[in-house]
Amino acid sequence: MRAGGGGRLSAFLFRRPRLRLWLLLGLPLAWLVVVYLGSLVVLLFAAFWDTDSFTGQVIHTFTLENFQEIGETPVYRDVASRTIQMAAMVTVADVVLAFPIAYYMARVASPRTRNLLVIAVLMPLWANYLVKAYSWRTILSEGGIVNWTLDPLGLGFDGFSTAGLWLTFTYLWLPFMILPIYAGLERIPDSLLEASADLGGRSLATFRKVILPLAFPAVVAGSIFTFCLTLGDYIAPGLITSEQFVGTVIYNIRGQALPTAAAFAFVPIVVVIAYLLVARRLRAFESL
Amino acid sequence: MVESRLTRVLLQLGTGLTLAFIYLPLLVIGLYAFNRNVTQKWPIEQYSLKWFSVAWENEAVRDALKLSVLAALGATAIALVLGTLASLAVARYSFFGREVITFAVILPIALPGIVTGLALQATIVDILGPLGFSFGLSTIIVGHATFCVVVVYNNVIARQRRLLGSLEEASADLGADTWQTFRYVTFPQLRTALLAGGLLSFALSFDEVVVTIFTSGSEETLPIWIFATLSRPAQLPIVNVVALFVIVASVIPVYFAQRLAGGAGLRRRPAPLLQARP
Amino acid sequence: MNGRKHLALRIGFGGLMVALAIVAASCGGGDDEAGQEGTAAPAAWQIEGLGTTLDEIKQLAREEGQVSVVQWAGYAQLTEEFQAATGCQVNTKDGGSSDDMISLIQTGEYDGVSASGNASVRLMGTGEVSPINSDLIPNYADVQEGIKNQSYNSREDQPYGVPHGRGPNYLMFRTDAVPEDTDTWGVIWEPDQLEKYNGKISIYDDSIFIADAAVWLKATQPELGIENPYQLNQEQFDAAVELLKMQAPYVGEYWPGDVAKQIQSYTNADSVVGTTWPYQYVQLTAADPPAPVKAIKPKEGTTGWSDTWMIHSNAANPNCMYLWMDHMISPEAQAAVAEGFGEAPVNLKACSVTTNPNHCDEYHADDESWWQDVYYWTTPTEDCGDTDDSTTCVTQEDWKAAWTEIRG
């Protein structure tokens, strides 16, 4: 029997739920706080430090110059607004692409088809991000499949452009949008839709007044990914375009101007946290 | 059902198009792996298997593969422990700041990878460095584990929401101690969720590049090798082969995670994305 | 944002406690004049763990068994032969720009780096690279004297590494789009030319490219008085930045050291004119079928580089790194890299083992007059790199900031 020590410890713990809670929470919390939040704090501190103009190394004197530079130089504002616009456009495109397939999976397909479709959507989600971005680079290039298709029609498409990047991002994050919407739609009880029909609601009215509001938290949940992941990416922009985005600027200046990079990093951090807070209010976390 | 015939046809069409959109790029990269030519031009003129053996004989690729697997195993192990503990706490107790935990677990994947990466790199260089740590497998694992926690957490917590607390109470009433209850009652019910979360965590780690670039030092995981090699034109055919391999390798665990999460005889309403089975 | 060169603590940034502790510690014995001149070079070339004789180095290298270096794409050559001879396996990491390479070497994970002048000067300034003992590098004696002990590879006549080779940044164009007899940078700077090649121009994505604008201004606007394209006063700098901003809307791609991207864009005629390294030119003309491209040094002169293999002060594998430096200036490796990358070797013994017997002539390895108007990359500094106190120049930091703005 394990009774001896184990039993006593167990009884001891049983009487102290707080202690049990802390035993459970302690390790994960310590990890997240020390490793993750700790690192973030280290980085954010750097935003208030100075750099040596010759070596580019950090000097530990407090300064607000980095924020001043970010605020006063138009290029940072341009890049930030360009990136946020891109994130918004990618989100919209993903919602538009995701809704039909999610709806079909949730409400039309037979259980068997549905299962197949879930797997079909999930598998590419986990396929390598870099490989997918690289694939788009070959597809969008002048000698790639897009221009090969358009060429006979007398058309050309400059794939290494903002539009090409938009397409790439839309592709990369699409499964992140499909799955929450699918889950959200499936949770809507059939009876609700029948009731709406019984009360004379036409398909469109039912869709607009019943389905959309109920699916909205799921859309927001999906948008956490499409929006936040676009905001901070630096690899896909580098592979596809020459245009600067928040991620690429931070990546490029980090070596020689880490404090400025850290100060600029506040932009996506603030935007993402604000987005998450709004998403939580909209009950989107339960749909994750 | 309220959908009209026309709606259904349109939905089918939309579904087909989206699926095509999802799979086309994967197909293209798969085909390029068989391209005999070094230049990546469409259409492919000559197919060949020759790059497969070239890729296999490439020592850097094999080393990178080994490192990727080790990193994914390490990160998954840590994520399993941390994710399970956190989910047990959140599912069973109500406490001040419970909401914050959910938030904190999500943050590492929601915040831009470049921020996470830069922050971890700064910490490794400036805080761990003086303490004698350096870049390598361990730092890669630490970085990966941080954002793998959320997948395990989400899978396990979703399973727990469906579990019956009464079973554990019965176990305690019958004289089992905390450990025994966990070992014989709680754990078996969570097993498949853990396995699913673990597989997804493995896949997530195996594919990660955005943060890994900052935490790997001079070591190369497979995605890092791909990233570095993208700028070496002569080696692109090898990249294609490795890309195909990586796609297949990450898709297999996901497939099994699917089966597992749906298994255990628990039919449930779907939820979430970061779980194996919505 | 200038005027702070007095202090360069060898730390990044960290938790406050750790930082304070290190600040306190390093104030005592730090290299506190991290500027460009003035400090006596440390006599101690000895790195922890490095053998004191060549034999000892060779023996210790076998125990190390590996060496990790940051390099420009295509630099490491004959690595298998090197491993067979020394037992050191070579791990390479490509850098896309000098800043990139500095970031990489600062992780402390690499034993050495092939640094261009705009990296080497800063690395020597921070003490991240160590002076070398050339007696332990037998091939060093064969390096051209004119390249030894330059400002970018030594301090106070103490060498900080071995010269690797030098080359120009070319103007490259597709001959089916740009007249074959083009001999001027005007094709990427003059408004009517820019209009003509709109969207087909390929530019190196790094702040050091501001110097290329300065080279053009030096030739076409003598009233600005530019002498050294890297040491610009505010007026000259502003003129260069303005020129680059004017050019930016016409640029089709900025290539960030990602040579594959540029090669692909020239192959597909996405780009038809721009700046390049000889490496891409060599690759494009060696392709099957060869791309119709031509690369020249325009009449205004050009920027270029003279690179140096340097060893990290805390290299984990110093013995293998010493052998690697020796290997890279051996005639065979010099020949391989000179032909592979398209540059001039610094060890002229390489000229007799190149596969193209005329390679050294074609790349002007021994023709100093040809290099007169090739301005090697170096770091812009506040004192303009001279001793005249009355002049001040725009610093590296501001070059970097301006480049972000130019890119928009």
Do C260 and B230 form a contact (C-beta atoms < 8 A)?
A: yes
Residue B2's pLDDT is what? 55
How close, in Å, is residue C369 to chain A by CA atoms?
A: 31
DSSP string, C279-291: HHHHHHHHSSSPP
DSSP string, B17-72: HHHHHHHHHHHHHHHHTTB-SSS--SSP--B-SHHHHHHHH-HHHHHHHHHHHHHH
Chain B: residue whose CA lies nearest to C261: B231
d(CA B19, CA B32): 20
Residue A5's pLDDT is what? 53
DSSP string, B203-228: HHHHH--TTHHHH-TT---HHHHHHH
How close, in Å, is residue A167 to chain C by CA atoms?
A: 19
In this predicted structure, the answer to whether residue B199 has a pLDDT above a threshold of 80 is yes
How close, in Å, is residue C337 to chain A by CA atoms?
A: 27
Q: Phi-psi category of C31—alpha, beta or left, where left has phi over 0 and alpha has psi -120 to 50?
A: beta
Residues B228, C15: C-beta atoms closer than 8 Å: no
Residue A119's pLDDT is what? 83
d(CA C115, CA C97): 10
Confidence of residue A81 (pLDDT cuts 50, 70, 90): very high
Residue C26's pLDDT is what? 36
d(CA C150, CA B150): 54
Question: What's the pLDDT tens digit per position in A135-179?
Answer: 998 898 877 888 888 888 888 788 888 999 999 999 999 988 998
Chains that touch C (3 or more CB pairs under 8 A): A, B
How close, in Å, is residue C54 to chain A by CA atoms?
A: 33
Residue A11's pLDDT is what? 67
d(CA C206, CA C214): 14
Closest CA to A249 of A123, A98, A82: A82
Do B1 and A105 form a contact (C-beta atoms < 8 A)?
A: no
Indicate the pairing of strand C293-296 with strand C170-174. antiparallel
- Across C73-217, the runs of DSSP E, i.e. the strands, are 89-95, 112-115, 129-130, 154-155, 158-159, 162-168, 170-174, 201-204
Question: What's the pLDDT tens digit per position in B150-177?
Answer: 888 888 887 877 776 777 778 878 888 7
Q: Mean pLDDT, to the nearest integer, of C371-380?
A: 92
Confidence of residue C22 (pLDDT cuts 50, 70, 90): very low
Residues C397, A51: C-beta atoms closer than 8 Å: yes
Those residues whose C-beta lies under 8 Å from the C-beta of residue C165, and which sit 6 or more positions away, are C306, C307, C334, C337, C338, C341, C343, C344, C345, C346
Average pLDDT over chain C reads 86
Q: Mean pLDDT, to the nearest integer, of A101-106?
A: 91
Amino acid type, A33: V
Rg (chain A; Cα; Å): 25
d(CA B23, CA B255): 16
Do C359 and C338 form a contact (C-beta atoms < 8 A)?
A: yes
- Residue B72: both structure tokens together: 């994914």
Residues 33-62 of C with CB under 8 A from A: 34-36
Q: Mean pLDDT, to the nearest integer, of C390-406?
A: 89
Residue B275's pLDDT is what? 55
- Torsion A83-A88-A93-A99 (CA) sign: positive
Residue from B231, B232, B236, B238 whose CB has the most chain C CBs within 10 Å, to mutate: B231
Average pLDDT over chain A reads 85
Chains that touch A (3 or more CB pairs under 8 A): B, C
Question: What's the pLDDT tens digit per position in C139-194?
Answer: 999 999 989 998 899 988 899 999 999 999 999 999 999 999 999 999 999 999 99
Closest CA to A160 of A242, A252, A245, A244: A242
Length, in residues, of chain A: 288
Q: Mean pLDDT, to the nearest integer, of A58-74?
A: 86
Question: Distance of alpha carbon A165 from its chain centroid, rounded?
Answer: 16
d(CA C78, CA A205): 72
A/B interface, count of CB pairs below 8 Å: 310
Confidence of residue A82 (pLDDT cuts 50, 70, 90): very high
The verdict on C95 touching B (C-beta cutoff 8 Å) is: no
Residue A3's pLDDT is what? 45
Residues C19, B126: C-beta atoms closer than 8 Å: yes
Helix (H/G/I), strand (E/B), else coil: B163: coil
- Torsion C224-C229-C230-C231 (CA) sign: negative
Closest CA to B177 of A21, A6, A19: A6
Do B113 and B211 form a contact (C-beta atoms < 8 A)?
A: yes
Q: Mean pLDDT, to the nearest integer, of C320-341?
A: 94
In this predicted structure, the answer to whether residue C8 has a pLDDT above a threshold of 50 is no
Residue C18's pLDDT is what? 35
Residue C213's pLDDT is what? 97
Indicate the pairing of strand C154-155 with strand C89-95. unpaired
Residues B231, C94: C-beta atoms closer than 8 Å: yes
- Residue A129: both structure tokens together: 């991000």
In this predicted structure, the answer to whether residue C40 has a pLDDT above a threshold of 50 is no
DSSP A33: I
Closest CA to B149 of B77, B71, B88, B79: B79
Do B194 and B80 form a contact (C-beta atoms < 8 A)?
A: yes
The verdict on A181 touching B (C-beta cutoff 8 Å) is: no
- Residue C71: both structure tokens together: 């390099």
Residue from B10, B156, B213, B273 whose CB has the most chain A CBs within 10 Å, to mutate: B273
Residue C33's pLDDT is what? 38
Do A57 and C12 form a contact (C-beta atoms < 8 A)?
A: yes
- Across chain A, the runs of DSSP E, i.e. the strands, are 49-51, 58-62
Average pLDDT over chain B reads 82
Residue C67's pLDDT is what? 95
Question: What's the pLDDT tens digit per position in C91-127?
Answer: 988 888 888 898 888 888 899 999 999 899 989 988 8
Residues 129-168 of A with CB under 8 A from B: 129-132, 134-136, 138-139, 141, 143-145, 148
SS3 content of chain A, % helix, strand, coil (to 5): 80, 5, 20
Q: Which residues of chain C have a CB within 8 Å of the CB of B122?
A: 12-14
Neighbours of A103 (CB within 10 A): 23
Residues C108, B39: C-beta atoms closer than 8 Å: no
Share of chain B above pLDDT 70, in %: 91
- Residue A123: both structure tokens together: 């598998």
Residue C6's pLDDT is what? 30
- Residue C378: both structure tokens together: 């170096």
Amino acid type, C193: Q
Nearest residue, CB atoms, C268 vs list A50, A58, A141: A141
How close, in Å, is residue C260 to chain B by CA atoms?
A: 5
d(CA C264, CA A140): 12
Q: Which residues of chain A have a CB within 8 Å of the CB of B269?
A: 186-187
Q: Considering all CA atoms of chain A, what is the largest pairwise distance in Å, rounded to the nearest integer?
A: 84
How close, in Å, is residue C172 to chain A by CA atoms?
A: 19
Backbone angles phi, psi at C89, to 5 degrees: -80, 140
Do C380 and C399 form a contact (C-beta atoms < 8 A)?
A: yes
In this predicted structure, the answer to whether residue A256 has a pLDDT above a threshold of 50 is yes
d(CA A259, CA A49): 6
Do C326 and C138 form a contact (C-beta atoms < 8 A)?
A: yes
Residues A28, B83: C-beta atoms closer than 8 Å: yes
Residues B114, A280: C-beta atoms closer than 8 Å: no
DSSP B91: H
How close, in Å, is residue B113 to chain A by CA atoms?
A: 6
Beta bridge partners of C93: C70
Closest CA to C332 of C306, C307, C352, C309: C352
Those residues whose C-beta lies under 8 Å from the C-beta of residue C192, and which sit 6 or more positions away, are none
Nearest residue, CB atoms, C4 vs list A53, A238, A259: A53
Do A54 and C36 form a contact (C-beta atoms < 8 A)?
A: yes
Q: Mean pLDDT, to the nearest integer, of B48-77?
A: 90
Specify burial of residue C142 (Cβ count, 10 A radius: 0-12, 13-18, 19+).
middle
User: Regarding predicted confidence, which is higher, B31 or A53?
Assistant: B31
Indicate the pairing of strand A58-62 with strand C66-72. unpaired
Helix (H/G/I), strand (E/B), else coil: C182: coil
Residue A10's pLDDT is what? 66
- Residue B110: both structure tokens together: 């929601």
Do A162 and A240 form a contact (C-beta atoms < 8 A)?
A: no
Residue from A54, A235, A241 whose CB has the most chain C CBs within 10 Å, to mutate: A54
Residue A288's pLDDT is what? 66
How close, in Å, is residue C118 to chain A by CA atoms?
A: 10
Question: Distance of alpha carbon C144 from its chain centroid, rounded?
Answer: 18
B/C interface, count of CB pairs below 8 Å: 62
Residues B126, C109: C-beta atoms closer than 8 Å: no
Least-confidence region, from A109-118, B154-163, C370-379: B154-163
d(CA A214, CA A187): 9
- Residue A52: both structure tokens together: 């040596």
Q: Mean pLDDT, to the nearest integer, of B121-130?
A: 80
The verdict on C369 touching B (C-beta cutoff 8 Å) is: no
d(CA C95, CA B19): 38
Neighbours of A108 (CB within 10 A): 17
Q: Which residues of chain A have a CB within 8 Å of the CB of C14?
A: 42
Helix (H/G/I), strand (E/B), else coil: C158: strand
Chain A: residue whose CA lies nearest to B6: A203
Residue C27's pLDDT is what? 36
Specify burial of residue A41 (Cβ count, 10 A radius: 0-12, 13-18, 19+).
middle
Task: Give how far Cα C211 sits from Cα of A288, B34, C122, C153, C403, Å.
Answer: 51, 44, 17, 20, 11
Residue C218's pLDDT is what? 96
Residues 259-318 of C with CB under 8 A from B: 259-261, 263-264, 267, 283, 287
The verdict on A36 touching B (C-beta cutoff 8 Å) is: yes
Residues A107, B18: C-beta atoms closer than 8 Å: no
End-to-end CA distance of chain B: 22
Residues A53, C2: C-beta atoms closer than 8 Å: yes
d(CA A107, CA C220): 70
Nearest residue, CB atoms, C404 vs list A45, A55, A75: A75
